[in-house]
Each structure stands twice: as C-alpha cells, then as structure tokens.
Amino acid sequence: MKTAHKSPFNVIVIVAALGYFVDIYDLILFSIVRVPSLKSMGLSPEEITNVGIRLMNWQMTGMLLGGFLWGFLGDTKGRVSVLFGSIILYSIANLLNGFVVNVSQYEWLRFIAGIGLAGELGAGITLVSETMTKERRGFGATLVVSIGVLGAILASYIGRNYEWNTAYFIGGGLGLMLLVLRIGVYESGMYQSIMKTNVSKGNFFYLFTDTDRFKRFLCCIALGFPIWYVIGILIFFSPEFAKIFLSQETIDAMAPGEFGKIAGNAVMFCYMGHAIGDFSCGIFSQIFKNRRKVVFTYMCITCIIIPIYLFQSNISLNFLFALCFILGAGSGFWVGFISIASEQFGTNIRATVTTTVPNFVRGSLVLMMALLNLFRENLNQNLVMSALYVGIIVMALSMIALLGLKETFGKDLNFVEGNSEQ
C-alpha cells in the first residue's frame, strides 16, 4: 500500500480538482446559456421559463441515475475507472449539445450529460480521502472543491462572451483534454486492500439493511439541500427575479437582450462567493477540528441571507450581483458537506455514498422545482413567496439532518460497513 499523502499538492488532488473544475463548468453552463439557447429555437419568454425548468429536471434526473451507476462502479471496479468513464461521457454529450436544434434533442443530451457529470466529484473526493492522512485530508478536499467551483466563473465568462454553441464545445473539449492528465493516477490503497475479500462492495441496497446506516445516508443528503436551493432556484431564476427587484430606471437603461446575460453574471458572482466560502469552510474545519459546527455556522448565515435576497425592490444590477456573491459565500459549505458524507461510511460503500449523496442533492432540485410550481400554480403564490416557502422547508430539513450526524474530523477511514469499527 502506498504511503498516505500529507500535502494536498499531489497528483491525485490536482487531477481531482481540475476534473471538478470541468464538471462544474459543464454543470452550470446550462443555467447561463438557457435563455439565449432556447431563444434561438424560437421559444417565447414564458416558454423559456417552463422549458428551462423541464431541461434542468432532465439534467438532474440524469445525475440522479448517474449517481447509482458511478457509485456502484467506484466500489466494484475502482475509483479511477469512474474518473475516466464519467469525464468521457459528459464531454462527448456536451460537444453534441452544441449541435442541438430542438428541445427534444436538448432534453436527451442534458440527460446524458447529467449521467456523466454525476461521477466526477464522488470519485475524486473518495480517492483524495483515502490517499491522504486522516489529519490533513480536509485540506485535499478543500483544494478540490475550491478550485472546482471556479469552473462556474469560467462558464459565466464563456457563456456571456461567446455563442451558446461555442460554450458547449469548449466544455466538451476541456474534458477530453483532461483525460491525458489522468493516465498517471493510481488506485486507493484502502480500496485495493478489500478488492479480493468477500466484503459486499458497491451494494446500494446495503444502505437500507441497517437503521443507523439508512439514517446517516438520509441525513447526508438533506445536509446539502440549501446549497442547491441557492444555485438551482435563487440563482437559476435570477433573470426572473431581476424583473421584480430592479428599479424601473435600471430596467429602462438596459439594452435589448441584456436580461439574458443576467444569469451568467449571477452565476459568476455566486460562485466567486462559493469559492471563498468553500475555502474558508475547509480551513476553519481544520483549525477548529470540527466540521459540524462550521457547517452549522454557514447554514445560519444562509438562513439570514435568503429573505434579504428575496425581499428587495428598486435596486441596481450591481447590488443584485452583490447579493448573489453573499448568497454564494454563505452557502459555500459544499466541502464540509461532501467531507462529512465521505467520512460517515466504510471503504466498501464509500464511493457509492460519496457519489450518490451529492447527486441526490442535485437531483432534489426536481422536487424543489415541483414545490415551487405547486406554490405558484396551485396555491396562487408569486415567484418570490413560492421561493421563500421552498427555502423554509429546505433549511428546516437540513438543520434537522445535521443534528443526526456524528463528527468525523480525524476519523480513521480504513474500515468496512458491518464491522465493529463502525
């Protein structure tokens, strides 16, 4: 077995970070090019909102199914195999996305891209967690997530300054180029030690055979809800919110088509905040040697910022983007969330959990969208109040979930589920 790394600046961390960078670029790109891409297909403003929700649901459903696929492969075939397979699939899908001419093609390719995108983070974090020392693995995860979220900033720049087709081509091309860097990545020693044993590996249903395991799994999923509520609802619908929040003077001064660029800027500022939030969350977790307390602090900040964001009026574009930045920083505890999930479970199902959990969180956006539409259409609430109600539900579930999880900082991860170590 190879010696565990002490420094986060090693080939596995760097490759995982760059992979997550491309993953986030492709994942967020649709939010940025949604309006111009659908407008080019002749859709009306109302159709753009409704079809945009449907396309996002297709992408997130693909990620949900991909979480099962890549998690199973990560625990049965190895973490490295997922790093190669997932990036090939989503890179090709995004290249083809640049050629779509109708909504039906768009739906299928967002679905396939979603499946591919599902494997990147889980495999990377699992590999980093298992190849670094238990005292310093948090630095590795922090580096992966902090660099990765910067992919959204690149996606914002590309999406605002190039045609939407070109933005997809660039994303696919970046992914295929990254394959070359992955040739030298080696498998986790912890995983190799159980490869030839009779321990059940990659069995998703094993999570349901024990009450404590099942509870931990559900709590890990719910813990990440607020992050994707912010990204998938508050930021995704930033063009729609802007029409409500901005002053009439600001709206009158905007050039034709400028509303379509609001999403790109909102994503960029949100993820700039995310990068700072995730980096500080990871560092504070190492300093205080406690992940749960740090994550709780960030959740409280998010609870405060959500109503401040939603109840604005007569503001400028710059102030709107400042709020997006603050939202991103407050909800920037993805590194704490994913580290807690990875450290809760044994080596035999760690990749399964670390891959499925973030994709269940992303996939939960389908339910959040359904709730949003329920409040809007069936209960006759406007977009702002509907978003607030969804936010209250999400934050409550997340807070309860945090109470159900144990602290895992510095925990020895060389154990399997079902053994006395757990």
Which residues form the domain of 62?
Answer: 11-183+208-403
* 280 within domain boundaries: yes
Query: What pLDDT is recorded for position 133?
Result: 83
| pTM of this structure | 0.82
* 199 within domain boundaries: no
Considering only residues 412 and 241, tell me which one the structure prediction assigns the higher pLDDT. Answer: 241
pLDDT tens per residue across span 332-390: 999 999 999 989 988 888 888 888 898 889 878 888 988 998 998 776 678 899 999 99
**CATH number (domain holding residue 168):** 1.20.1250.20
* 225 within domain boundaries: yes
Query: What pLDDT is recorded for position 346?
Result: 84
* 412 within domain boundaries: no
pLDDT tens per residue across span 186-233: 665 666 666 666 666 667 778 888 899 999 999 999 999 999 999 989
> What is the total count of domains within the chain?
1
* 192 within domain boundaries: no
Three-state secondary structure along the chain?
Answer: CCCCECCCCCHHHHHHHHHHHHHHHHHHHHHHHHHHHHHCCCCCHHHHHHHHHHHHHHHHHHHHHHHHHHHHHHHHCCHHHHHHHHHHHHHHHHHHHCCCCCHHHHHHHHHHHHHHHCCHHHHHHHHHHHHECCCCHHHHHHHHHHHHCHHHHHHHHHHHHCCHHHHHHHHHHHHHHHHHHCCCCCCCHHHHHHHCCCCCCCCHHHHHCCHHHHHHHHHHHHHCHHHHHHHHHHHCCHHHHHHHHECHHHHHHCCCCHHHHHHHHHHHHHHHHHHHHHHHHHHHHHHHCCHHHHHHHHHHHHHHHHHHHHCCCCECHHHHHHHHHHHHHHCCCHHHHHHHHHHCCCCCCHHHHHHHHHHHHHHHHHHHHHHHHHHHHHCCCCHHHHHHHHHHHHHHHHHHHHHCCCCCCCCCCCCCCCCCCC
* 164 within domain boundaries: yes
* 419 within domain boundaries: no
* 73 within domain boundaries: yes
